[in-house]
Amino acid sequence: MSLCPAFCRAESQLWALHDFSDMREAGRIRFTNSYKVGTTDTLVYTCSGTSAEFTNTIDDVIRLPKSGSTVVISPAISKLSRVVISHYQYSTCTNIKVYVSTDGTTWGSPISGSDIDYNAGGRIDVTLPRRAYYIKIANTTNADFTIYRITYYTEDCNCFLYTPE
């Protein structure tokens, strides 16, 4: 007789890397509504607020130039566990807020504390409990902020997801 414990481990895996310039060159992103909406095969990026848009240049980026500029990423990404937002290093990033929603309308408080890391190397690294999320990125200052790549990670797990009531 042998006992075999069930191994349960979570493995983070790359779900998608959206480099907006590369995607445009390869024809994998379409822009509509005066460059306010970028649509890929998997996600839709909707810019709103003060002058938020995709730039119409050879180096496509999401530009959030003023306080109140946002981009919402939909639909919800299943089993999302991490998001890395790559931006130009000269941008002020500590005033960029990242929100998640399970329904696309209720956003709550921005991600904070140890769940968000504002790297000096031009990245914002967000860690989330594995779940399906919509994402919203918002500029809260008048410092221009530009995003050139967003990387998404999901987590497959045979784990029991406990949700307290």
If phi > 0 it is left, if psi is from -120 to 50 it is alpha, else beta; for residue 94 that is: alpha
Q: How many CB atoms lie within 10 A of CB 157?
A: 15
Q: What is the tens place of the pLDDT at every residue in 11-70?
A: 679 999 999 999 998 999 999 999 999 999 999 999 999 899 999 777 789 999 999 999
Instruction: Give the CATH fold of the 11-155 domain.
Output: Jelly Rolls (2.60.120)
Distance of CA 89 to the CA centre of its chain: 17
Domain boundaries defined on the chain: 11-155
Report in angstroms the alpha-carbon separations of 1 from 4, 5, 6: 10, 13, 16
Statement: residue 6 has pLDDT above 80:
no
Distance of CA 4 to the CA centre of its chain: 39
- Output 156 or 71, whichever has higher pLDDT: 71
The pLDDT assigned to 125 comes to 95
Report in angstroms the alpha-carbon separations of 67 from 15, 32, 103: 30, 23, 24
What is the average pLDDT across 118-131? 90
